[in-house]
Amino acid sequence: MPATNPWLALPDGAPSPVLARRLRAAHEALVTRVDAPAPAQVRPVVWDSWRRSLNSGVDTDGPAPPVDLLDDELAAYRAAHPLAAVMPVIRRLLVADAEVDRMIVAVTDAAGRMLWVEGDARLRDRAAGMHFVEGASWGEDVAGTNAPGTALALDHAVQIYGGEHFRRPVQPWSCSAAPVHDPRTGALLGAIDVTGGDHVANPHVLTLVRATAAAAEAELRWLSRHGDASGGLGPAVPLLEVLGRDRARLTTATTVQELSLRHSELLVLLAEAAARGEGRTAEQLAAECHGGAAAEVTVRAELSRLRRLVGGNVVGSRPYRLLGPVRTDVEEVRTQLARGAPAAALDRYRGPLLPGSRAPGVRAARARLADDLRAAVLASGRPDLLLRYSERPEAAEDLAVWQACLALLPPGGRRNAAAARVQRLRGSGRGTARR
C-alpha cells in the first residue's frame, strides 16, 4: 500500500463528515487542554501548525487578521514586489477559470500578506468578512493554520481542509497553496493560494497550484536573464543588501556581486550620505570607516578598487558619491517605518546592518535603524509583532519588549513564557529597559 502524501488534505479527493467531526473534536481538545496528545486523525503537518499557532498567541475566535496596507501604500508595495512581474502568468493559469471553478486566487508576499486577491466575486465578498483581502496579514503566526501561511512557514506546498484551520471563522473554507522562490537566490518571495469550498482540497488542485508556482519561477528566471519593459529581475536601479549580511550583495541589471567588508562599508556610507543628498570626502570616509587619524590614501585606494569593481557609473568622485539611485534594504525598512507600517518594516529587517562591521559610521547607522524599528514595534501595541520581534537575538534581554508582551498577550503558553522572562530579567538586573 503506497504511503499517504502528508501534504494532501483529502488523498482520495472526497470530503468526509467523519473526518470533519474528528477534526472538530481534536481542535477542541487542543485549545482547551494545551498538553493534549496528537490524535491519529490529524495530519502531523496540521497538528504541528496548530501548536505553532497556539504558541504564537493566535486566538481561535479572536478578531480577523489585521489589514496592514491600504490604498496608495498597497499599490506602491505591489508595484515594487517581484511577483508583480508574473501576475499575467498566474492570471492566465488560475484566475481565468476561477469564477467557473468557484475559487479565489490569492498571491502573498513572503510574510503572508495578501497582495492580490482575485477570482469569484461572490466568494471574495464572503471572504472579506474574515479579512481575506488585499493588504491583510495571513502569516501563520498571525492568522493561524491556513494554506498560504503554513506553506510559507514550512516552505512547501500544502492543503488545509475545513476544520484543519486553526481559527474557527476560517473552518468553512479549504485552500491549497505553494511557495514561490527567486530563481537566482532561492529566497522565498511569497505564495500562490487557491481558496474555496471542499473541492479545493482535492489533490488535483494542489497539483495545479504547484504547476503555477513553477511557471511563475520559470518566468522570473527568464526575466532575470532577458529583462522586460520594467527591467524584470535584473533591476535598472541597483539593489544593495546589507541587513543580516556580513558582506553586502549588490545586484545590478547584469551582475550579482558579493563585496568585501571594506567595500560593503564604503557603499553603506555613501548610501547613507546619498539619502541626505550629500557626498563624502576621502577624509570624511576615513573617519567614518576607520575612526581616529586614519590615512586618507588607504580610503582612496579602496574607493578606486570599488569603482573598478562596480563600475564608474555607480560611484563618482570629487566628492565621492553615488551617481544615480541605488535601492537598499535599509531604505526599504525606513520607508515602511515612515509609512507607519511596522509589520512591513519587520518583514524586511533580516538582521542588523553589516553585523560584523566595526566602522564607526556603519555602527551608528546600524544602531539608528535598530532603535527606530524597536520603537515602532513597541508603539504598535500588536502582540503578533511583539512576539516576532521578541524572537530576535537583540530582544533576548530587552525588558521593555517582554513587559509589552506580558501586557498584551492572551492567557496561555506564550504569555507564561513572557512572565517568566520578565521575572528573570528583573531579578538579574540584566534587562535593558533602553534608553
pLDDT value at position 134? Answer: 96
DSSP label at residue 241? E
**345 has which bridge partners?**
none
Radius of gyration over every alpha carbon of the chain, rounded to an integer in angstroms:
24
Query: 63: which 3 cell numbers?
Result: 478578531
Q: What is the pLDDT along the chain (435 residues), one digit of tens a residue?
A: 345 788 999 888 777 788 889 999 999 888 887 677 778 789 999 999 999 999 888 999 988 999 988 888 888 888 888 899 899 999 988 988 887 789 999 999 998 999 999 999 999 999 999 999 999 999 999 999 999 999 999 999 999 999 999 999 999 999 999 999 988 878 899 999 999 999 999 999 999 999 999 999 988 888 877 654 344 455 556 889 999 999 999 887 667 889 999 999 999 999 998 887 788 888 889 888 886 555 778 888 888 888 888 876 678 877 888 877 788 889 888 888 887 888 888 888 999 999 999 999 999 999 999 999 999 999 988 888 888 899 899 898 899 999 998 898 888 778 888 898 898 988 876 655 554
pLDDT at 278: 83
Query: How far apart (Å, rounded) are the C-alpha atoms in residues 288 and 359?
Result: 6
Return left, alpha or beta for 226; rule: phi > 0 is left, psi -120 to 50 is alpha, else beta: alpha
- What would the grid cell of residue 94 be? 488560475
Task: Please identify which residue in the block is written with the cell numbers 563585496.
Answer: 259
Burial status of residue 430 (CB atoms within 10 A of its CB: 0-12, 13-18, 19 or more): exposed
CA distance to 47, 148, 373, 391, per residue, from 388 (Å): 21, 18, 12, 6
416: alpha, beta or left? (left if phi > 0; alpha if psi -120 to 50): alpha
Can you tell me the distance from the alpha carbon of 160 to that of 166, in angstroms, rounded to the nearest whole number? Answer: 10
Cα angle for residues 349, 353, 358 (degrees, 5° grid): 160
Q: Is 297 exposed, middle or buried (0-12, 13-18, 19+ CB in 10 A)?
A: exposed
Residue showing cell 569603482 = 307
The H or E element spanning position 175 is: strand 174-181
User: Exposed, middle or buried, 152 (CB in 10 Å: 0-12/13-18/19+)?
Assistant: buried
| Nearest-angstrom CA–CA distance, 303 and 320 | 8
CA distances in angstroms from 183 to 1, 14, 113, listed in the order given: 36, 35, 21
Which residue is listed with cell 463528515? 17
- Retrieve residue 249's grid coordinates: 550583495
Q: At 251, is the secondary structure helix, strand, or coil? A: strand
Contact criterion met (CB below 8 Å) for 234 and 227: yes
Task: Let me know: does 264 contact 279? Beta carbons within 8 Å.
Answer: no
Pairwise CA distance, residues 364 & 268, whole Å: 11
Query: Residue 177: exposed, middle, or buried by beta-carbon count in 10 A (0-12, 13-18, 19+)?
Result: buried
Give the whole-angstrom CA distance, residue 345 versus residue 334.
7
Q: Which three cell numbers stand for residue 258?
A: 558579493
Angle at CA 155, nearest 5°, toward 149 and 156?
95
Give the DSSP per-residue string, 97-154: GTTTTTEEEEEEETT-BEEEEEE-HHHHHHHGGGT-STTBB--HHHH-S-HHHHHHHH
